[in-house]
Amino acid sequence: MAGKQSLSFALEPRGVLSFDDYVVDCAWSPDGAQLALAGGEGKVGLVSVTDTLALCSIGEHLLGTLAIAWQPRAQCFATSGQDGAVALWDAAAAAQVRRWKPGVAATQALAWSPGGDMLAAAAGKVVSLWSASGEKLHAFAPADSTAVALAFDKPGTDIGVALNGEIAVHRVEKSRYETRRYKWPAPSLTVNFSGNGRFLASGMADGTLHFWNRSTGKDSQMRGYEGRVQLVGWSDNSRYLASSAGNDVVLWDFSGRGPEGTRPIVLSGHTDRIDSFHWQPGGEHFLTGGRDWRLSLWRPAKAKQPIDVQMVDAEISAVRWSQDGKRVAVGDKQGRLTVFDLVAR
Amino acid sequence: MSVTPSRVPVTVLTGFLGSGKTTLLNRILSEKHGKRIAVIENEFGEVGVDSELVIGAEEELFETNNGCICCTVRGDLIRILGQLMKRRDRFDYILIETTGMADPGPVAQTFFLDDELKNQFQLDAIVTMVDARHFEQHIDELNEPAEQVAFADLVLLNKTDLVDDAALARIESRIRGINGTARIHRTKNADVPIDQVLNVGAFDLNRALAVDEAFLEPEYPFEWGGVYQLGAGDHLLKTAGEHGHHSHDHEHHEHAHDHDHDHERGGHDGHAHEDLDLVLLPVASASGAALNDAIESAVRAFSEPATVVICHGALEEVPAHYAIELSHPGADFRLKITKPGAYALFCEHHPAEFGLHLHGVQPAAERRFASHHHEDDISSIGITDPRPLDPTKLNQWLDYLLKTRGQDIFRMKGVLNIVNEDRRQVFHGVHMMFDAQAERPWGQAQRVNRLVFIGRGLDRAELEAGFESAVAKP
């Protein structure tokens, strides 16, 4: 039986620390040596990840941190909060570099361009673009509703904005700021460009998932969710679109003719709502974290069952792969951070 | 495995512009009640409290994906509520203020949208502030004030110091006509004990219909009854105000009648008449018990034709049904009593609306009766019936009702007696979205269905026929 036995992977705990704030989200540094944490009551923390974990509390957003994003190829990350502010942090110095308010409202979402030269911020109805050092580049005309999510496409030429009733896609290439609108009469909760550039997907508050063919503009609607579709994510190779509105993950397979008219793959195993999931960068593993305190590792192309399950001590609020796809950060609602390594067995 | 924390109560505060919502919010926030309260106010809100807990919202409406146009909810609220739940030092309470012109339906319906929201939040009550000074003007000109009253579990009748007692009684009567189940609280400068506004439990299925008992009584053709001990001779029955001024405070208060007069709405010709029907009966004693015993006779007397009595005229026969003409403030009538004793007086409207009183005599006992008089196209209808219901037929009826009338039915609540079911079935809804559950067993209590509908253009016969169709066949 020698030869073609495929490797199986599992998660191995590396360390745990107390952040002492609901972990809203976290972001890995490009080298995987640091992790930035955003807290629901407002804390901003920086963790050095070596053989042990060490936390440094470096600042806060009054009333809660809403978004966190690490600048690609840099030692810097950005946070935004209910206080309306955007802050840039120097991870090497563990200090704030700059802080400003892009608008009067809370700043709901942040996104770095793939090249790391531009930061987009959504404050209320206004999306604005900033340089890496915090200089204002552009502000788009106010939308009719609050912008709740932002994402650049892979080349960094377009930025998608999730709004109530539409996804606005602004062209940012060479200072052209044309806008294309993808309409659906419900609040859009997520904006997700496929890595291959062909599709734009969005989870909706009315319990539907939509994806548009970006070249034809054709809108496809997927139904049957338990409720609001708050989690949506493309696999790194753009084959699967994962979505969740409850205890299960619904995977749409975009290989061949695509998912229309097909039955999706359903990943079942959690006994309570999934609040965070993440596809492995550069790989085919998929992580889910739920209110059942369960962290599940999946390899959907091979199996509908999790290949590993780890229990943490509270409801999981954030799961994030490191950019090399070898480590996993898991934040929970009781304010703990646990880091796992992906190991072959 | 996961611990379900207790649900955070939510009060929806609605009311027309200038009704005092902001004053109430400021009072609640500045009072030392030990609660951590988060306020979600509309984008252009006026709350000036220096509180870190005030969050702006934007009335971002969307229709749920069930094909019903009245199932509109607030997307912005869902997002804000989600963010509030990311604090471990959780809020004890959430207050949502709507804009003056807003329909409270979408806000309330948001809490019925899905299990996620139902598990985290408990809609406590819809509180509607009413500006006593401008209510009568607004309700005749616009739809929103009546709708806001229709949705309410609690009406705060504010600025009561700016109007007289007759106007207050009139406004209260009108509010009761629209919403027969809401509690009404009179306030000055929005000054009301906080525990009367928060944790009311109006949507708590375990406490369902606790406040509705009075409304679910049978309807009577009168709103008030009182008993008096009267000596022989003439007694003066008088309305408030000075005779001779002829300023028509009450012209708008028109109503249909079996002996027809020209009721001119808002007429200013000095001849717009208004009648008040009343019944006078001898009773055994000047007591509450005797008043209750006289109800049936009063109902019968109201069904007889009325004798019209003009100003300064006499009410000479007892028992009898009269229609006294209240053509102007200070109108008076003589009540001729030949045999001293106890008498009951039943009035179509509450006498306070007109300042009507028997000169020099106080009632020994008095009682309000369920309001039946609907001036507005929005009203409340209650059904009380002991017969057990067939759950399948009940669902068919409610399904049909909500599909055809969901938009017009603002609130619906009930305790149901289901055949072969030991427990009370309780439900509570806003438009078409509702929550239902089996509640505590009937035990020794009398099994009876109690349903309340509050809505626009409700047809009692249609609702009763629908109910009839759901009765289980023996």
Give yes or no for A293 touching B (CB within 8 A): yes
Contact at 8 Å (CB) between B241 and B355?
yes
Contacts 24+ apart (CB under 8 A), B28-36: B28/B95, B28/B194, B28/B197, B28/B198, B29/B53, B31/B194, B33/B194, B35/B92, B35/B93, B35/B198, B36/B89, B36/B90, B36/B91, B36/B92, B36/B93
CATH code of the domain in which A313 resides: 2.130.10.10
* Total of domains in chain A: 2
- Cβ of A185 within 8 Å of Cβ of B63? The answer is yes
The answer on A214 and A65 residing in a single domain is yes
What ipTM was estimated for this complex?
0.87
Name residues whose C-beta falls within 8 Å of residue A53's C-beta, 6 or more positions apart in sequence: A14, A15, A16, A17, A47, A337, A339
> What mean pLDDT is reported for chain B?
82
B2 within a domain of the structure (yes/no): no
Last residue of a domain, one of B139, B171, B203: B203
The pLDDT confidence band at residue B259, using thresholds 50, 70 and 90, is very low
Residues A227 and A338 in one domain: yes
B471 vs B474: CA distance, rounded Å: 9
CA distances from B126 to A268, B145, B152, B254, B436 (A): 39, 14, 5, 30, 18
Q: DSSP characters for B216-243? A: TSPP-S-SEEEEEEE-SEEEEEE-SS-T
Residue at which a domain ends, from B349, B368, B387: B368
Look up the domain containing B382 and give its range.
378-470
Residue of B65, B69, B90, B113 to mutate, interface with A, max A Cβ within 10 Å: B65
Q: Are B235 and B358 in contact (CB under 8 A)?
A: yes
B276 and B263 Cβ atoms separated by less than 8 Å: no
Among chain B, residues having any CB pair with chain A shorter than 8 Å are 1-2, 52, 55-56, 58, 60, 62-65, 75-76, 78-79, 83, 86-89, 113-116
Distance (Å) from the alpha carbon of B380 to chain A's nearest alpha carbon: 32
Statement to judge: residues B362 and B384 lie in one domain: no
Name the domain count of chain B: 3
CB contact under 8 A, B75 and A187: yes
Domain co-membership, B345 together with B382: no
Looking at the structure, do residues B428 and B284 belong to the same domain, yes or no?
no
In a domain, A138, yes or no: yes
Same domain, A221 and A81: yes
pLDDT over 90, % of chain B: 39
* Residue contact A272–B62, C-beta within 8 A: no
- Share above pLDDT 70 across residues of chain B, in percent, rounded to a whole number: 84
Q: Which domain holds residue A317?
A: 9-104+195-344
Closest alpha carbon to B201 in B124, B127, B93, B126:
B124
User: Both A204 and A173 in a single domain?
Assistant: no
**Two structure tokens written together for A319:** 């799961």
3-class secondary structure for B315-363?
Answer: ECCCCEEEEEECCCCCCEEEEEECCCEEEEEEECCCHHHCCCEECCCCC
Contacts of A154 by beta carbon, 8 Å cutoff, 6+ apart: A114, A193, A195, A196, A197
Residues A136 and A54 in one domain: no
Statement to judge: residues A20 and A69 lie in one domain: yes
What does the pLDDT read at residue B156?
96
What pLDDT shows up at residue B69? 58
Closest partner CB to B86 (pick from A24, A186, A334):
A24
Task: Answer whether residue B211 is part of any domain.
Answer: no
Does B262 score more than 50 pLDDT? no
Partner-chain contact B86 A64, CB within 8 Å: yes
Q: Of B227 and B75, which is predicted with more confidence?
A: B227
pLDDT at B113 over 70: yes
Pair A272, A282: CB distance under 8 Å: no
Nearest C-alpha neighbor of A33 from the set A60, A13, A51: A51
B356 lies in the same domain as B394: no
Length of chain A (residues): 345
- Which chain B residues touch A108 with a CB distance below 8 Å? 79
Same-domain check for residues A73 and A90: yes
> Average pLDDT of A7-22?
93
Residues B313 and B440 in one domain: no
**Are residue B173 and residue B91 in the same domain, yes or no?**
yes
pLDDT, tens digit, 9 for 90 and up, residues A216-234: 999 999 988 988 999 999 9
Pair of tokens at residue B352:
């306070």
Residue B114: closest C-alpha in chain A: A227
User: Are residues A273 and A338 both part of a single domain?
Assistant: yes
End residue of a domain, out of A144, A169, A188: A188
Mean pLDDT computed over B356-384? 83
CB contact under 8 A, A186 and B62: yes
Cβ <8 Å between B65 and A64: no
Kindly report the CATH number assigned to the domain that includes residue B391.
Answer: 3.30.1220.10
B225: tokens are 């009854």
Whether A196 has its CB under 8 Å from any CB of chain B: the answer is: no
Residue A105 near chain B (CB below 8 Å): yes
Question: Are B86 and A105 in contact (CB < 8 Å)?
Answer: no
CB contact under 8 A, B86 and A40: yes
For residue A306, say if its preceding peptide bond is cis, omega within 30 degrees of 0: no
Q: Do B87 and A271 touch (CB under 8 A)?
A: no
In the structure, what pLDDT confidence band is assigned to residue A175 with cuts at 50, 70 and 90?
A: low
Q: Are residues A174 and A292 in the same domain?
A: no
For A28, half-sphere exposure in the C-beta direction (CA atoms, 13 angstrom radius) is 22
Domain boundary among A127, A161, A188: A188
| A183 and A204 housed in the same domain | no
B128 and B194 co-located in one domain: yes
Give the other-Cβ count within 10 Å of B376's Cβ.
Answer: 17
Of B222, B229, B456, the residue nearest B347 (C-alpha): B222
Check B1 against A271: CB less than 8 A apart: yes
Of the candidates A106, A205, A226, the beta carbon closest to that of B78 is on A205
Phi-psi region of A153 (alpha: psi -120 to 50; beta: other; left: phi over 0): beta
For residue A190, which residues of chain B lie inside 8 Å, CB to CB? none
**Predicted confidence (pLDDT) per residue in A240-258, tens digit:** 999 999 999 999 999 988 8
Same domain, B38 and B80: yes
> Is the same domain home to A234 and A144?
no
Compute the distance between CA of residue A119 and CA of residue A134 in angstroms, rounded to an integer.
8
Report the C-alpha gap between B343 and A204 in whole angstroms: 67
In a domain, residue B214? The reply is no
Interface check for A126 against chain B (CB to CB < 8 A): the answer is no
- The two three-digit tokens of residue A283, written as one number: 């790989």
B65: closest chain A residue by CA: A206
